[in-house]
Amino acid sequence: MADPIVIRAVQAADARGILDIVNDAILNTTAWYDHVPWTPERVTEWQTAKAADGWPVIVAEAPGGSVAGFGSFGPFRARQAYAKTAEHSVYVAKAYRGQGCGRRLLEALVEEARARSLHTLIGGVDSENGGSLAFHRALGFEEAGRLREVGRKFDRWLTLVFMQKLL
């Protein structure tokens, strides 16, 4: 039986689904180090900026066309010496977590990064997000460092773990 989830390039119509996933992460988790929910305009600005800069945004489309998850990558740092390194993000709607959706998104991003001749992908993961850390390890990422107490959310300090995969 074919997998009902389809990985494809983002479309303008995906903005609402992305908004819902982003705002759930902002309001309810430490997966997104932000405090202020996004607006529909902010999602459109983000998609437009990614496209203008030539960075990929992909979605996992569930049956019926809803956005089950999304992923992207972009510059790790702005200096030319980092041109072959990108930082990725993958977020999955609560209803689709643990079903392979995130794996398919990250595998597609890795392949896209290789096609662009990137050398390494970096993911920033909250140290308390054991599921995401295990997810990255299962896909060949290794812990490359920890930045202790660099973020603050929900009245506590957050430690950022960099996960890295050499391509």
pLDDT band at 1 (very low <50, low <70, confident <90, very high): very low
Given a cut of 70, whether residue 75 has pLDDT beyond it is yes
Report the share of the chain in percent with pLDDT over 90: 96
State mean pLDDT over 94-105.
94
State mean pLDDT over 26-37.
96
pLDDT tens sequence across 44-55: 999 999 999 999
- 45: how many CB neighbours lie within 10 A of its CB? 12
Q: Which amino acid is at 129?
A: N
- Could you tell me which residues come within 8 angstroms of residue 85 by beta carbon, excluding any fewer than 6 positions away? 76, 77, 118, 119, 120, 121, 122
Q: Which amino acid is at 76?
A: F
pLDDT band at 2 (very low <50, low <70, confident <90, very high): low
The domain defined by 6-166 folds into Aminopeptidase (3.40.630)
